[in-house]
Structure formats: C-alpha cells, structure tokens
Amino acid sequence: MSFRLANRAGQAVLLDGQDYWVLGSDPMDALIRPQELHDRWAGRGAPDGQVTLTELGPPVPAPMQVFGYGLNYRDHIEEIDRVDPMGRTAGEAPVVFTKFPTCLVGPAAPVKLKGDHCDYECELVAVIGTETRDVDETEAWDRIAGLMIGQDISDRALQTAATPPQFSLGKSRESFGPTGPALVSIDLVDNPDDLAISCEINGELRQNSRTSFLMRPVAEMVAYLSSILPLHPGDLIFTGTPGGVGHAQGIYLKPGDVIRSEIEGLGVMENPCV
C-alpha cells in the first residue's frame, strides 16, 4: 500500500510535495481504507491544487489513544540522568505515558508556550491501521497504517510537579502535539526501522540521530501495548526522542523560536513558538 495522507482544513487529501488531491472524506475515515488510498495514490493524475504547510492539520486528528514512550534512546537517558538522576536499571518495564488527543495540531501550527520550562522532543510516530490485540513482533508492522513526524512538546515543570512524577498532563497542553505533514505508508520509506531524525531550533541543530537507535523498536512497542489493551485504527505511538533536548542543557523554548523537525522520507514540520 502506497499513500501520503494529509489533512487540509479537516478534509482528507493525498499529498505529494505541495500538490494535493481531495479524497472527499474525513481523515479518520480515510485511514481505515488503505486499499482505497493506495488506488487513488496510484492513479492520482493532475492535482486539485497546491497547499502550504500552514494549511495542513494533523493527519490523524482524533485518535482514541495516544501513547508516548519515554527514555527510548540511550543518549537521551544519559543526558536526563545527568540533570535528573532516575536510578533506572536495564530490564525495567518501558516508561509509557498518554498524550491526550486534544493536544494534536498540524505541522506548522503555533506551539503555545506556558511558563519557562517548555521543551521540544522530535519523534517518529507510528499510526495503528487496524484493531490490534496480542500481536507478536513479527506481526506488528502489518498493523501499522504508516508513519509521521511528531513533536512531543513537554512542560518540564508540570511534568515533574507531582510526586511521583506524572508525565501525561505536562505533555498534553493545548498545541503540544504537532504532527505531520502526512501519514506516510511504510513502503514509501527506505527502511522503517532506520530513518534519520533531526530537530533544529532557529536553524541550530539540536537533535540528530537515527531511529535504528530506538532501544525498543516500533514492532516491540506495538507488541507490548497490544498485550495490555486493544489498539484501534488511528491510535498514535510517539516512539521517544533522541538526545539533545533543551532540558538537558538548561535551555527552554521561548516565544519567537521556530522548531524544525525532519525525518527521512516523512518530510518536515516547522512550528513557531508563541
């Protein structure tokens, strides 16, 4: 199945560069019909128009569940351990939290900062394509509709305000979930387990890694989550962020900053901070 599914003003469109093709459905309906998306993509012909990044909403605007994996790249664990020692040991259960779906915005939407401790986290996001329960790792990729870029924007002060700390609210402020620019089918990337991932703040490179460094790869995450609860079409898994976050350096986002997120084969997002 090949397609790049995007959300233009609440309508599902196919997106190729700046060209778009109207699908005549809602993005949540479109993603559960991959064969239809594939057929439309294969025969797409002349585009219906051109779109800019700022006109795009989140490709998956209303998932039932949004999971976030914490501490899933070794260099990120090490940098966080230097500022907030956690005493984690190898073999512990993964750190998984919720981003509430109301935080989801598009690939160029403004990020509304609150307080002085908001931070960026560029991440690969896997999108579930079909109802999934108890799959093993060999079956997991078959349950994924596609991949997209996500920013797991985090209010570090709120994230650690309670004892014990709870991540979900600090990662769910309004506009704290930029995603996009499109949901890209797996066959359109070279190797879904090894994609270059990077993040720049105001043109300065802060994060630069590859998804092959994920300590728990995508298939393992899907298998683990599906052993606990059912996964639904459209559910998002933010897979964790590589090293280079602001918190580890004592630098936080400020109004006027521009967050540029890029993943090989998936495109670019550019979110201004306000």
Residues that bind Zn ion (CB under 5 A): 121, 152, 241
Q: Which is nearer to Zn ion, 57 or 242 (CB)?
A: 242
> How near is the Cβ of 55 to Zn ion at its closest, in Å?
27
Min dist CB 262 to Zn ion, Å, is 17
Residue closer to Zn ion by CB (options 26, 220) is: 220
Tokens of residue 142, six digits: 């078959």
Least distance to Zn ion from the beta carbon of 248, Å? 13
Q: Which is nearer to Zn ion, 170 or 233 (CB)?
A: 170
Minimum distance from CB of 171 to Zn ion (Å)?
7
Residue number with CB closer to Zn ion (135 or 221): 221
In order, the DSSP letters of the chain are ---EEEEETTEEEEEETTEEEE-SS-HHHHTT-HHHHHHHHHT--S-SEE--GGGEE-SS---S-EEEEES-BHHHHHHHHHHS-----TTPPPEEEE--GGGEE-TTPPB---TT-EE--EEEEEEE-S-B-S--HHHHGGGEEEEEEEE--EEHHHHTSSSS---TGGG-STT-EEEEEEEE-GGGSS-TTS-EEEEEETTEEEEEEEGGGBSS-HHHHHHHHHTTS-B-TT-EEE----S--GGGGT----TT-EEEEEETTTEEEEEEB-
- Shortest spacing between CB 89 and Zn ion, in angstroms: 21
The CB-of-240 to Zn ion minimum distance in angstroms stands at 6
Residue least distant from Zn ion (Cβ): 152
CB closer to Zn ion, 76 vs 260 = 76
Is the distance from CB of 225 to CB of 84 less than 8 angstroms?
A: no
Q: Which is nearer to Zn ion, 41 or 97 (CB)?
A: 97
